[in-house]
Amino acid sequence: PPGPYRFSNREYLIITYRTDPQKLRDLVPEPLQVCEPLVKFEFIRMPDSTGFGDYTESGQVIPVSFCGRMGSYTHCMFLDDHPPTAGGRELWGFPKKLASPTLRTETDTLVGTLDYGPVRVATGTMGYKHRAADLASVKASLADPNFLLKI
C-alpha cells in the first residue's frame, strides 16, 4: 500500500564494536566522515509494519557525520521477507538483501543470529531484561538521520 508507513513494537539487539579505523574509512563513501572506528551490528524484530507484515532484519550501521551533522550510514541489511526487502531498497535506498536473521528469547537470554544460505554470519546474545534502557537516549538515537547514498 502507499505510505505513510508505521513500524510498531520493534525489538532491537544492537552490539557496538570497534574496528580498524582505516578499513572503516575505506568502506564509508565520501562525503560521509567516520567519527570513531565503531560499527553497530543490529538484530531487529519488526512484528507490526504497514503493508510489510512481520519480519526480522539484521545488518551493519556505521555512525558518521555529514556536513557536521551526526547520523548513520547503513552498510548492509539482511531481511527474511521479500516485500520489506524490496520496499526498503526501492523506496528508500537501503542496501537490503534476503537472508535468514532471527531475534528471539531463549529463557533468560536474547539471541540474535544471521545466516546467509548455509553460513552463520553473526551471533549476538545478551541478558534478557536485566536493565531498562534509557528511553530518552533510545528515542534520540532513532531520530538521527540515515545517510543513504547512490554510489
- Measured over the CA atoms of residue 118, residue 18, residue 63 and residue 21, the dihedral's sign is negative
- Burial of residue 122, with CB atoms counted within 10 A of its CB: 0-12 exposed, 13-18 middle, 19 or more buried: middle
Catalytic residue among 23, 40, 96, 129: 96
How many Å apart are CA 62 and CA 60, to the nearest integer?
Answer: 7
To the query of whether residue 96 is one of the catalytic residues in this protein, the response is: yes
Q: Which residues contact 116 (CB under 8 A, 6 or more apart)?
A: 78, 99, 100
* Active-site residue list: 96
